[in-house]
Structure 1
Amino acid sequence: MVMNKAYHTYQNNAVNTASGGELTLMLYNGCMKFIKQAMKDMENNDYEAKNTNIQKAQNIIQELMITLDQKIEISKQILPLYEYLHFQLKEANIKNDKAILEEVLGFVTEFRDTWKQVIIQTRKQNYTQGAQV
């Protein structure tokens, strides 16, 4: 019980102190987790849990869509991809299609990996600039 409370406190602190980039990374990781769980739920014929986990993944994709900065050109290219992923999650849920979930998981993983590299490069630049001052 105490460990559970400590972990929960740690998670809250991690979210509350994270940068925007780190929060986006957390969203991608959460989306991947829910998609993987939905795939397991499908295998176990637990359709209620599958539905819940796919809806959680859809909510994360919606949050990513809402938080896109439309003033940045790449956001206009990413939005249709997020819309596609959101639609595919709905299709996977309706059709109980694991292959669609695997496709979406692949895209989300690529987004996450790319985002991770952006964070690393930004940190390197900030560190280099800070060292020069």
Structure 2
Amino acid sequence: MAYTNALSAYRETRVKTASQGQLIIMLYDEAVKHLDRGLELLGMNEAAKKDPGKIEQVNKSILKAQEIITELMVSLDFEQGGDIAKNLFSLYTWFNQELLEANIKQDLRRITVIRNMLSELRGAWSEIASKNPAEAAGKAVSGINIAG
């Protein structure tokens, strides 16, 4: 119990003190983690896949990834981001649509495609964030709880 509380406190502090770029990277990391979990559960043998408990776990993992993608969508700044923000919005919308279909059909391929694209975007954001170390940290953060 103490370990869980300490880990939760650490995660909360990490989120509250992160820069904008670091927060975006954390969101990508969480989305990829949840899709990896869903893929792991879907990759099990046929009997395990039909287990209602496993299906519910896959559903929860994919839905959590969709929530995170939605958070990425609402964090876009269309005034400063211009065409890049518009393109990311379109891409995130497509991600969520694909994940919706993949969840319904339990489609490993679709989930894998989105997972890999999120991972590539995470890499790009990581590179951007490393080039902007002077970015202000500790800004007020709202939205979903990625620490849990």
TM-score if structure 2 supplies the norm length?
0.80
Q: Which residue of 2 aligns with 1:37?
A: 37
Q: Which residue of 2 aligns with 1:67?
A: 75
Shift of 1:77: 1.4
Choose between structure 1 and 2: higher helix proportion: 1
Shift of 1:96: 0.6
Deviations 1:27-67 (A, max 9, x none): 00000000000111212421100001100000001111111
Counterpart residue type for residue 64 of structure 2:
K
Q: How well do the aligned residues superpose, as a CA RMSD in angstroms?
A: 1.3
Shift of 1:22: 0.9
1:100, 1:110 → 2: CA distance? 16
Runs of 4+ deviating beyond 3 Å:
none
Unaligned runs of 5+ in 2: 136-148
Question: SS of the counterpart of 1:78?
Answer: helix
Question: SS of the counterpart of 2:23?
Answer: helix
TM-score if structure 1 supplies the norm length?
0.89
Counterpart residue type for residue 4 of structure 2:
N
2:15, 2:132 → 1: CA distance? 19
Identity of aligned residues (%): 32
Q: Which residue of 2 aligns with 1:115?
A: 125
Is 1:103 paired with 2:103?
no
Shift of 1:88: 0.7
User: 1:47 is matched with which residue: 50, 55, 58?
Assistant: 55
1:66, 1:7 → 2: CA distance? 27
Counterpart residue type for residue 19 of structure 1:
S
Q: Which residue of 1 aligns with 2:16?
A: 16
Shift of 1:2: 2.0
Shift of 1:90: 0.5
Is 1:3 paired with 2:3?
yes
